[in-house]
Structure 1
Amino acid sequence: MRLATYLHQGVRRCGVVEGDRILPFPDGTGLLDVIASGALPATGAAVELADVRLLPPLEPPSVRDFVAFEEHVEGVRKAVDGASGVPDAWYDAPTFYFSNPHAMVGAHDDVPLPPGCLALDFELEVAAVIGRAGADLSPERARDHVFGYTVFNDWSARDLQSREMRVGLGPCKGKDFATTLGPWLVTADELEPYRDADGFLRLALTAEVNGEVVGRDLLSNMGWPFDDLVAYASRGARLRPGDVLGSGTCGNGGCLAELWGRRGAQDPPPLKPGDTVTLTVEGIGTVSNTIVPGAEPVPIPRARKRTRERP
């Protein structure tokens, strides 16, 4: 089942996508409510998909983004800090960072260039959405806590990211401005036919810039299946319905920075206003966003050096 949130005639609604139509839930129903309850409300008269603006499927309480593809780590590490290979610590546990849950972007919305960014990039990922609360889950139990999956584009200002992370924190403003979720949320049962013997979802992933394919991979090339990511995220913490867990960026051109690292040059070039990024995940769907001009950065002075005088 595919569940979408959308605007129709100026009203925000959500409902079930069937073919080229949406069957709306009652006014005031939010997809987060549906996820938390696990029950589908009655639906009304269908509207055409062509007549609506797709919004992010939900406004998540939290967003964790993992880095679960070895090939991506290898390429991007070279591009961002010049180091080769994959850090040994990457193999120890599925690392993640917290992203901005208030910066979600719809499947076809424009994405403004972040202030001060000269090296904008996309990142092709899949996200799992939690349906049942839980803490300290085992991988075996974790699978039952996933409600569904959606396409996840972790937009990245590579130049801002690289500079900020020299401080030992980050990605900060390198990731703070936009994340595409969509085009809808596909319930977990729909993707079970794609699961392989090792528990991975074998979904084909494709990235295009201005109609040209720049990346192809399989979701099953992750270092850990989603069961492990969910279990690790729940360690010593409570996951709640609607929490979003990104897979991390796939390899083989799942982002431009990986290609920059491997080629030693910004080839293809960073994204600029007018460029359109289209990401497709087998079994889920396609999101396509165009870059538009953004705001100029508001100047912030450099830190002053203190005498460290004490009272």
Structure 2
Amino acid sequence: MISSTYISRTFWVIFVQSSVLLLLLLLLLLLLLLPPPPPPPTTTTTTTTTTTTTTTTTTTTTTTTTTTTTTTTTTTTTTTTTTTTTTTTLTTTTTTTTTTTTTTTTTTTTTTTTTTTTTTTTTTTTTTTTTTTTTTTTTTTTTTTNYYYYDYYYYYYSYSSSSSSYYYYYYLYYYFYYYYYYYYYYYYYYYYYYYYYYYYYYYYYYYYYFYYYYYYYYYYYYYYYYYYYYYYYYYYYYYYYYYYYYYYYYYYYYYYYYYYYYYYYYYYYYYYYYYYYYYYYYYYYYYYYYYYYYYYYYFYYNNNYYYYY
């Protein structure tokens, strides 16, 4: 048999469970009827950056004019010597007279030399290069917060609600939510600003520190670069001097080489030319020898023929 205690205890368990379930359902219904919380304020930030760079360059112009004129004139006049001799002999029975006349003309030579020299003229015009760079940067930042949406949202739900308690509850909820969001936003902004400020100084210090060391090493590098340039300049000077000496020696060597080559070929060319000339002369002589021999033989043959005939 079921005891009353068990029944009573079961009843209370069912009652409590049902009550809790009912309250949960009512709360869920209330939450469904309540409007959703307003979204956070919308903030729009627009940043426009315009950069304009203008560069002007002037080119260097160099003009060089050189004029050299030399004129030489030589005039020579020569007069030739003329000599005339006349001899007259007169003979009579008693006396013989001889008369001799001699005329002499002296040679005269006149030389005139005229030299005209024009000096070299050099004109140089140089224009220096000028470069101008202008950079203009314009930054525009616009921040817009949309509050109209919240006003419309609030008006719509206040107008559509029929219960004053509901309206009051919604207003209270919106009020606390707004202030909570406002303080949260303010705190976040303040924290972000402080964090940004702290990192700004940190990076500024870091940048300044590296910039200082970079400048120091750059200056040190520039000093070594200057030193290197100085040695490079002397090395280039000695290299140029050595190159000039080597070029002179090379030119001298090739001069002797070509001279020797030319002499060698000239000698062989002359030798072959002489040999060819001798051979040609011999051949020509031989040819004429046969030619005359043939002619002689021909006449001899004809002569004998006629003689025989």
Structure 1 length-normalised TM: 0.17
Structure showing greater relative contact order (alpha-carbon pairs closer than 8 Å, 6 or more residues apart)? 1
Structure 2 length-normalised TM: 0.17
Asked which structure has the greater CA Rg, the reply is 2
Flag the structure with higher helix content.
2
